[in-house]
């Protein structure tokens, strides 16, 4: 009788343990699946606004520079004129538009046809990087200065109109990019090594403090 009573009890206990294990596995699976779904959602949102997928200034370069790829975000048209700030380059003064958000940066001067020697756009990058800008949907050629954190012009490049090949900085020290009308730097004797300042002081004081 004693054995016959213990066997059913042991059997019930094993069933209970097995059930608890199954429930634990299901709960763990649900938690993991929830974490995966959250991660995928965040990744999708980030990909939608990341510079790498933007058609104006991808942050990283690779062999896939096809702007017709479904992964690339394409601004539908030119953006309205952005807020401006006076910047000083030697004896020259420009009233530069400020591209401060990922969307403003990605759109840049895209689609604009009225580029003149008074046109200027200063891109304030979120961190030092190998700046990489291209000219998809930019019908007018431009010049661009790649600028270090201290406001010194490190590189000056020609941007050919509608060229979708990125122009990549030679070093990862670029914090700002200034786009102007094609040839503006040469016409105004602005060269590498010169310092850009704003009406508030240095670029660092203006944008990083």
The 10s digit of each residue's pLDDT in 18-68 is 445 544 544 444 434 444 333 333 333 322 222 333 333 334 333 344 444
**Is residue 54 assigned to a domain?**
no
**Is residue 144 assigned to a domain?**
yes
d(CA 59, CA 44): 17
**Is residue 57 assigned to a domain?**
no
The four Cα atoms 94, 95, 98, 103 give a dihedral, to 10 degrees, of -100
Contacts of 182 (CB under 8 A, 6+ apart): 115, 140, 141, 142, 143, 158, 159
Handedness of CA 81, 118, 158, 208 (dihedral sign): negative
**Is residue 117 assigned to a domain?**
yes
**Is residue 66 assigned to a domain?**
no
119 plus 203 within the same structural domain: yes
186 plus 90 within the same structural domain: yes
Structure tokens at 12: 């019930």
Residues 127-138 have pLDDT tens digits of: 999 999 999 999
Domain count, the chain: 2
Residues 162-180 have pLDDT tens digits of: 999 999 999 999 999 999 9
Task: Give 7-16 contacts, CB < 8 A, sequence gap 24+.
Answer: none
d(CA 108, CA 60): 17
**Is residue 122 assigned to a domain?**
yes
d(CA 134, CA 167): 6
Could you list the residue range(s) of the whole structural domain that residue 153 is in? 84-207
**Is residue 146 assigned to a domain?**
yes
Please report, for the domain that includes residue 112, its CATH number.
Answer: 2.60.120.1140
42 plus 105 within the same structural domain: no
121 plus 169 within the same structural domain: yes
């Amino acid at each position: 009788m004693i054995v016959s009573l213990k066997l059913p009890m042991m059997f019930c206990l094993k069933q209970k343990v097995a059930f608890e294990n199954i429930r634990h596995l299901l709960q763990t699976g649900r938690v993991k699946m929830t974490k995966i779904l959250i991660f995928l959602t965040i990744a999708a949102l980030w990909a939608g606004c990341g510079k790498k997928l933007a058609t104006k200034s991808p942050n990283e370069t690779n062999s896939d520079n096809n702007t017709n790829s479904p992964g690339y975000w394409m601004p539908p048209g030119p953006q309205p004129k952005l807020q401006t700030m006076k910047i000083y380059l030697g004896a020259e003064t420009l009233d530069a538009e400020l591209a401060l958000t990922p969307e403003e940066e990605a759109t840049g001067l895209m689609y604009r046809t009225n580029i003149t020697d008074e046109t200027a756009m200063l891109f304030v990058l979120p961190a030092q990087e190998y700046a990489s800008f291209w000219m998809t949907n930019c019908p007018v050629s431009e010049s661009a200065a790649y600028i270090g954190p201290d406001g010194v012009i490190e590189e000056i490049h020609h941007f050919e109109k509608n060229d979708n090949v990125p122009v990549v900085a030679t070093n990862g020290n670029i914090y700002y990019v200034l786009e102007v009308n094609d040839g503006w730097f040469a016409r105004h004797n602005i060269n590498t090594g010169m310092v850009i300042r704003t009406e508030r002081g240095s670029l660092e004081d203006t944008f990083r403090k």
